[in-house]
Amino acid sequence: MFFGDNKLVQEQFYKEISDAIVNLDKERAIELAKRAIIENMNLLEVIEKGYGDGIRRIGDLWEEGDFFLPELMLGGTIMQESMDILLPELKRSGENINLGTVVIATIEGDIHSIGKTIVGTMLSANGFEVYDLGADVPAEKIVNTAIEKNADVIGVSALLTTTMFGQKKIVDILEEKGIRSKFKVIIGGAPVTKSWTEECQADGFASSAVEAVKLVKKLLNK
Ligand code: B12
């Protein structure tokens, strides 16, 4: 491997990716994604420390008023296109095992899909069967799919403080139907905290894809 285990060179590579995202340089972001695959790098680290870092910096710039909505949107698109290259590679490692079934979605009213897709892919890569329903999905549809697929885990993403309540709605619907104990409900997204998880009576939350895999394995005793 060209990068070897040289941490400094790796950190520089992640910084280059992060800068390509912040500079809204699509060509460079895509080129670096392809290079990460050729160099056989740890793709999850590339995603989290490179692309994830860049898109969060864009969020901060937007909040501070230095970036406007078109830039936020372009950043999201470039991130998504880079993920389209990296995620299929990441997914490959988990084929032919089934540790459990997960239904995952971003809740209704919320179109943020990037983090949820990364979590779903990481779970697939680690041997779970994942049904990713996409973004802006009604709570009822998420619950009905979990019943239909006989899922073990329901994962619900929310990135907006206004849509977080939809995560609680999932638990409420399961309670109403008398099937709460059949599923582990996990939640995530930038605004989600431990105290919100407790308030929702969800089974857990995770702030990264790696943590999400650990959480699901722990909940299912795998
Ligand atoms: C990219 C982006 C967009 C893109 C989304 C593109 C896409 N296809 O997803 C676009 C441009 C479309 C967008 C739109 C909007 N956005 Co926006 N967006 C962001 C931004 C910059 C990055 C989000 C992201 O992709 N992060 C990278 C991923 C890898 O991280 P992540 O999502 O947090 O996911 C990780 C963890 O949270 C966890 N996780 C995530 N989901 C799950 C689920 C489970 C089950 C588990 C266990 C774990 C887990 O693991 C993931 C992997 O590490 C954030 C800023 C931020 N700091 O989050 C703002 C942000 C979320 N957006 C914001 C806003 C306000 C909006 C808009 C309302 C703007 C507008 N006026 O139109 C709209 C929303 C419209 C809607 N109805 O949804 C605000 C939200 C404020 C708030 N507190 O409510 C933020 C925080 C920006 C800011 N600083 O103000 N946005």
pLDDT at 98: 85
Q: Which of 84-93, 101-110, 145-154, 177-186 has the lowest mean pLDDT?
A: 84-93
**56 Cα to the center of ligand 1, angstroms:** 9
Q: Is the CB of 163 under 6 A from ligand 1?
A: no
pLDDT at 1: 46
Give tens-digit pLDDT for 54-110: 999 999 999 999 999 999 999 999 999 999 999 999 887 666 678 999 999 999 999
Assign residue 144 a region (left: φ > 0; alpha: ψ between -120 and 50; beta: otherwise). Answer: alpha
pLDDT at 95: 65
**Most ligand 1 atoms within 8 A of CB, residue of 44, 56, 72 to mutate:** 72
Percent share of the chain, pLDDT over 90: 86
Give tens-digit pLDDT for 116-130: 999 999 898 888 999
* 204 pLDDT more than 50: yes
Q: Is the CB of 130 under 6 A from ligand 1?
A: no
pLDDT band at 50 (very low <50, low <70, confident <90, very high): very high
* pTM, two decimal places: 0.92
Phi, psi of 87 (to 5 degrees): -65, -40
**190 Cα to the center of ligand 1, angstroms:** 7
Largest CA-CA distance found in the chain, in angstroms, rounded? 56
Q: Are 56 and 4 in contact (CB under 8 A)?
A: no
| Total residue length of the chain | 222
Highest-confidence range of 40-49, 93-102, 157-166, by mean pLDDT? 157-166
CA atoms in the 13 A half-sphere facing the CB of 164: 17
Q: Are 21 and 54 in contact (CB under 8 A)?
A: yes
Q: For 25, which DSSP code?
A: -
pLDDT at 211: 96
pLDDT at 167: 98
pLDDT at 8: 86
**177 Cα to the center of ligand 1, angstroms:** 31
Domains assigned to the chain: 7-93 (1.10.1240.10), 96-219 (3.40.50.280)
**52 Cα to the center of ligand 1, angstroms:** 11
Residue with tokens 């638990």: 171
Mean pLDDT, the chain, whole residue set: 94
Q: Is the CB of 80 under 6 A from ligand 1?
A: yes
**Most ligand 1 atoms within 8 A of CB, residue of 57, 61, 64, 112 to mutate:** 112
* 156 pLDDT more than 70: yes
* 44 pLDDT more than 60: yes
The number of angstroms, rounded, from the C-alpha of 31 to the middle of its chain's C-alpha atoms is 22
**Most ligand 1 atoms within 8 A of CB, residue of 111, 159, 205, 214 to mutate:** 159
pLDDT band at 148 (very low <50, low <70, confident <90, very high): very high
Q: What is the DSSP string of 38-88?
A: HTT--HHHIIIIIIIHHHHHHHHHHHTTSS-HHHHHHHHHHHHHHHHHHHH
